[in-house]
Structure 1
């Protein structure tokens, strides 16, 4: 029997992996700008990495090009772009001034991001995933965690107030964000968002306005997005509790009486 001919990697499978690799490059570029003290470009690099991370999976599903290789590459890219890079940027921006434990707290952010991704990968084929089956994430996703970790930097860029750069403020905030990433809190995912048909035109107008705001006032807009997401966490917990109660009542109602 003649050996199988290696026809190489199709463009359909190559495209989403290329987007993931590009996100990884922007994450590493954010580290480079952080070393140079160019904080605006450092944040911009991580934000672009987040946009690309949101695109690669959708491109893969659209092209039906999901693969084990792509999933592993995506996890590696997320770990560097949203764990290692933000941890280093925050350390050189503020936490290196801490007399003790500054580096430890930066490590906590990076390690918690890695643990969150490892937990996600370990459960990806599990049959029992209550949060995912209801359209929720478990804990704060890595890109959202990176955005929340940058809230003090955004406040500093907007106000130029040295208070927001103080390690006494940045250290507990960083630990709080790290805890959110490895928590078991149900948080909203894109799959849980449904836009009514009558609201679609308004949603498109809102996206256009959001794009204009990002161009004109990027740091204020990003801060508002981060704070809105943080405020949605209690709402997502309440929404998931409602789903659990509905499921429990359906289970009890579906049981046959003796």
Structure 2
């Protein structure tokens, strides 16, 4: 009798069977699973009132998210299974976890509007990631547009939306008035995620050889500041990022005019994601 479903191959048709997969191919997926664990642990810490630990776990999830894809390409271990798993993990780590951590810390003081804001952010993150996956498969998209994200990327949105927590750790009192301000801020970031705002990705940036040491020194300095003064550094980073967004839009408009394209990236047909 013919089985109702075909045998599932984790690495696509024609790939090695499960028992024949080299150990190196497991590392990227393992990091993705660890990122999920970090995001869910952040939710647990928030429910326990350990908000600093909750924020740290979400940031660790963001770091691991940046590592798994690069490690997969380095080890030549990319797969459709890994890509789909990474995308689903991002919904948890950058949508659900930050929304629940922020709600447990501040937004619950605003009542139903705070919960609505948290829901909007989580849903917007899922929609943002779905659109990203669709655009990645768009072969007709001009090459230069690949240098820009359409809307604020999910990891950046997760780091930015937790700004009220950073400010609170610096001494700002989480009052009911601050809760309504945080609610409005969360809604704004949610709309930035699903907006058509062109955000420069920096993927094509090439560092001149004579400036490599300066760049390394700057990165080390930033990491040291992040470790020594985490909340000051994160608050300043969010401010710089928000200031950077208008400059990104202006750079895109100039490039689009030069290339003879439309001023804004093409929208995604909702039917294409089905």
Query: Is this a same-fold pair by TM over 0.5?
Result: yes
Residue 227 of structure 1: SS of its match in structure 2? helix
Separation of aligned partners in 1, 2:176 and 2:196: 29
- Maintained 8 Å contact 1:153/1:165: no
Per the TM alignment, residue 12 of structure 1 is displaced from its structure 2 partner at its CA by 2.5
Q: 1:38 matched to which residue of 2? A: 50
Q: CA RMSD in A?
A: 2.0
1:71 is aligned to 83
Q: How far does residue 8 in structure 1 lie from its aligned partner after superposition?
A: 2.9
Residue 176 of structure 1: which of 184, 188, 199 is its match?
Answer: 188
Matched residues in 2 for 1:44 and 1:79: separation? 18
- Residue-pair matches, total: 246
Q: Whole-Å Cα distance in 2 between the matches of residues 100 and 5 of structure 1?
A: 51
236-245 vs 125-134, which deviates more?
125-134
**Counterparts in 2 of 1:236 and 1:130: CA distance versus 1, 3 Å:** farther
Give the conservation status (yes or no) of the 8 Å contact 2:109–2:176.
Answer: no
Following superposition, the deviation at residue 130 of structure 1 comes to 4.4
Distance 1:229 1:176 in 2: 15
Moved more, 189-198 or 136-145: 189-198
Local SS of the residue matching 2:203: helix
Answering whether residue 218 of structure 2 is matched by residue 206 of structure 1, we say yes
* Structure 1 contact 94–165 (Cα < 8 Å) conserved: no
Classify 1:131/1:170 alpha carbon distance in 2 versus 1 (closer, same or farther; 3 Å). Answer: farther
Change (3 A) 1:14 1:244: same
Q: What is the CA deviation profile of residues 104-127 of structure 1, one whole-angstrom value per residue up to 9, with x for unaligned ones? A: 111000000000011112222111
Which blocks of at least 5 consecutive residues in structure 1 are unaligned?
250-258
Q: CA deviation at 1:160?
A: 3.5
Secondary structure at 1:193 match in 2: coil
2:149 is paired with a residue whose SS is strand
Residues 197, 249 of structure 2: 8 Å contact kept: yes
Per the alignment, do residues 5 and 133 of structure 1 end up closer, same or farther by CA in structure 2, a change over 3 Å counting? closer
Show the 5 A alignment for 1:1-258. 6=17, 7-130=19-142, 133-163=145-175, 166-248=178-260
- Determine helix, strand or coil for the equivalent of 1:198: helix
Structure 2 residue matching 1:128: 3-state secondary structure: coil
**Aligned equivalents of 1:46, 1:163: Cα separation in 2:** 23
Unaligned runs of 5+ residues in structure 2 are 1-14, 262-274
Contact kept, 8 Å, 1:102 with 1:171, in 2: the verdict is yes
TM-score norm. by structure 2 comes to: 0.84
TM-superposition CA deviations, 1:198-251 (whole Å, max 9, x none): 2211110101111111111011111111211111111111111121122129xx
Per mean C-alpha deviation after superposition, the further-off stretch among 9-18 and 157-166 is 157-166
Q: Deviations over 1:41-61 (max 9, x none)?
A: 000000001111011111111
In 2, distance between residues paired with 1:161 and 1:219?
15
> Which SS does the other structure have where 2:112 is aligned?
coil
Are 2:110 and 2:176, in contact at CA under 8 Å, matched by a contact in 1? no
TM-score by length of 1: 0.89
